[in-house]
Amino acid sequence: MSALLELIKEATPEDRRKIAEYLKPYLVTEKKPVVEHWVNIEKLRPYTPGKKSKAWIQLYVLDAYPKTRKWSTNPHPGKGRAIKVNLPVAREWIEEHVDVIDWDKPLP
- 88 lies in some domain: yes
Report how many domains make up the chain. 2
pLDDT, tens digit (0-9, with 9 covering 90-100), for 40-73? 999 999 999 988 999 999 999 999 898 898 899 8
Q: Answer for the pair 87, 44: CB distance below 8 angstroms, yes or no.
A: yes
Q: Are residues 19 and 42 in the same domain?
A: no
Boundaries of domain holding 18: 1-30
Q: Answer for the pair 108, 54: CB distance below 8 angstroms, yes or no.
A: no
Residue 34 has pLDDT above 80, yes or no: no
The overall pTM is greater than 0.85: no
Collect all residues with Cβ–Cβ distance below 8 Å to 9 and sequence separation of at least 6. Answer: none
Please tell me the predicted confidence (pLDDT) of residue 45: 92
- For residue 37, CA distances in Å to 19, 64, 86, 94 come to 41, 23, 5, 16
Q: Are residues 83 and 50 in the same domain?
A: yes
